Structure 1
Amino acid sequence: MQPSPAEVARTLAAGRLPGNAHIACRPSPHRVRHATDAAGRVLMLVPADGELAESLRPAEGADDVAVVLDVQDVPPVAGSPTLGRVWVSGWAAPLTGVEARQAAQDFVEIDPVGDLLDVGRGQVMFRLEPAEVRLETGGRMREIDPDEYAAAEPDPLQAVEWDLLTDLADHHVQEMAEFIRRQLADSGHRGPAGPPPRVVRLDRYGFVVSLGAPGREYRARLAFPRAVADRADLARLLHPVLCRRCGTGTPAAVDQGLGGAARHTTHPPTP
């Protein structure tokens, strides 16, 4: 259980990471504030009197402009593997009236910036309809079907991943290390010797841990027994693992909080 390429692309494009807009036949790229709506369409919030707005406005007789949104992952903590980079290509057009107001409501769900109140005056909303989606991961470029991209959902833990990883590193190193080592042992893998394993990425399907001494690290992915819905759902799932004073206190009972069904893969770290 891990995110599909379409889900990774939607997560990267969601709007919580910096993005650049490349505009056909115009000077670019431009850093752009963006978000995606429920259908995966890219919403761009642009100052009305700036160079970017001028570049995005269609030429006389045209309805839209060819644009590529480029978003690269920013790993949340040192040692985190990257999710890669996504390019969403398509046609962008300015929105007005009801469409602009709806787009502002969709945008605020991702990034509630104050400039959304100025849409239609000092700010312009543009919408990019995806025609092509490409995802680069591990040095490999793959094409994502636009319909699969539109149907996928961004990861619900993306916005709080840094908070969760920091909390685990600051307060739950021993509990997580014991749990991870039991899971590896149950699967017939002892894992490399070295410092306590640490969680370096989290998503709705599981987490990635780093094991071994510096320079000889390996990563393992442990899957949850089911996809989690949000931060509260994850807290309920991990509570028996992180709270040593709850339940019976036996390893088997503690692991039952994760359904006793975590699976793993191990591999050397990638850049």
Structure 2
Amino acid sequence: HLPDDSTLAASAICAPRGEPSAVLEFADVAPVPVRHRIRARLWMAGWFAPEEGHLAFHTTRAVLREPGGAVVVDLDEFAIAEPDPLALAEAQLLTHLADAHPDAVERLTRLVEPDSLHGAVRVQPLAVDRHGLTLRIERARGHGDVRLPFHRPADNVGQLTERMHVLLTQASSASCPRALQRQRTEGDG
């Protein structure tokens, strides 16, 4: 719903056929300060049309760009897609993990292949969803992301807490990667 005097509403009314075309861009920004904080972008092409007292956007094409590349999103699949059940809590969960539990983040690196940690200068939580946690491994020149999958999907924050405890238990029984041992030794001396 837009005010009657909004530029967008005026454009919709005055446009040929009353349907101004537009491209909307949405950016998914990591809540934790990391390099290259934009995790993904979604572009939606379409047009605006006045409908029953409000302005509706009709999508004709959607493109999702993630670090692995871009993909055209099927509009029927997009229309029925459900949000991740942890999406609204993700920012708070990740900032709490990064700020209050840096020791836990470091412990989780024991689940990462040692080669992925080569040259690591910092590891931060980047994303969490019902299927797992993603860590951002920053190096002096560049970065990489590592996914730590949960043993079962988490449908709420209570289940997420249990899934994180399982990962931390697995990490506690894993050996410390050599890359972090060297880094810790260099920092201690």
**One fold, TM greater than 0.5?**
yes
Q: Give the counterpart letter for 2:57 in structure 1.
A: L
Which structure: greater helix fraction? Answer: 2
Shift of 1:253: 9.9
CA distance in 1, matches of 2:123, 2:25: 33
- Could you tell me which amino acid in structure 1 is paired with residue 112 of structure 2? L
Scaled by the length of structure 1, the TM-score of the pair is: 0.52
Alignment check: 8 A CA contact 2:127 2:133 kept:
yes
Mapped to 2, the partners of 1:203 and 1:214 lie a distance apart of 28
Q: Say what the alpha-carbon RMSD is for the aligned residues.
A: 3.3
Q: Distance in 1 between matches of 2:74 and 2:139?
A: 40
Q: Report the equivalent of 1:192.
A: 118
Tell me, what secondary structure is at the counterpart of 1:207? strand
Aligned to 2:155: 229
Give the number of the structure whose residues are more often strand, by fraction. 2
For 2:118, give the aligned amino acid: P
Aligned-pair distance for 1:225? 2.3
Match of 2:180 in 1: none
Higher RCO (Cα < 8 Å, 6 or more apart): 1
Matched, 1:207 2:136: no
Alignment of 1:1-271 (within 5 A): 45-57=1-13, 62=17, 64-79=19-34, 81-96=37-52, 125-138=54-67, 140-181=69-110, 183-184=111-112, 191-192=117-118, 194=120, 197-211=123-137, 213-215=139-141, 217-239=143-165, 251-252=169-170
What's the CA shift for 1:194?
4.7
Structure 2 CA distance, aligned partners of 1:63 and 1:213? Answer: 51
Tell whether the 8 Å contact from 2:150 to 2:167 is kept in structure 1 after alignment.
Answer: no
Q: Percent identity?
A: 29
The AA in structure 2 aligned to 1:72 is A
Gaps of at least 5 residues in structure 2 are: 174-189
Unpaired stretches in structure 1, ≥5 consecutive residues: 1-44, 97-123, 243-250, 256-271
Count of residues paired in the alignment: 172
**Deviation of 1:241 (Å):** 5.4
